[in-house]
């Protein structure tokens, strides 16, 4: 095969590979039409609870959590582990309560009240709390 044909073959192969790879690129989806272009800075708080009987948990949500956060919340079922005061690692079912809020002294007090009530009611050692920034829009 003469050299010019090899160059054409190589150029054609490179072009084909480039076009194939370009076809694999995932286009960026357009933003949802109902979402405002500017989101509000809020706080995402997660409270990690050791599992209790489902009926008792439901009552706790109704009596303690929902009155403090009637606008909404999310509960996730998970598996967790932690080292207790006894030095042992405990593997337990876990419930994660997720609340998005604008952040205020009143909200922080309500979240800490929920933690204290859970510990007192169910005799658990602690309820882990995490707070992170979140951009939200409705």
pLDDT-above-90 percentage for the chain: 59
Tens-place pLDDT, residues 77-115: 999 888 888 999 989 899 999 999 999 999 999 999 999
**What is the model's pTM?**
0.69
Domain ranges across the chain: 40-136
d(CA 5, CA 138): 61
31-35, 54-58, 110-114: which range is least confident on average? Answer: 31-35
d(CA 45, CA 100): 6
Report whether CATH 3.40.50.720 matches the domain 40-136. no
């Amino acid at each position: 095969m003469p050299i010019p044909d090899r160059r054409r073959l190589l150029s054609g192969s490179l072009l084909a590979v480039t076009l194939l790879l370009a076809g694999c690129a995932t286009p960026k989806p357009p933003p949802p039409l109902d979402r405002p272009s500017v989101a509000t800075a809020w706080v995402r708080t997660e409270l990690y609870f050791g599992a209790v009987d489902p009926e008792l948990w439901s009552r706790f949500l109704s009596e303690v959590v929902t009155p403090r956060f009637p606008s909404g919340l999310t509960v996730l079922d998970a598996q967790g582990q932690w080292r207790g005061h006894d030095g042992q690692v405990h593997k337990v079912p876990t419930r994660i309560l997720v609340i998005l809020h604008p952040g205020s002294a009143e909200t922080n007090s309500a979240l800490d009240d929920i933690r204290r009530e859970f510990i007192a009611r169910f005799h658990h050692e602690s309820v882990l709390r995490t707070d992170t920034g979140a951009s939200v829009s409705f």
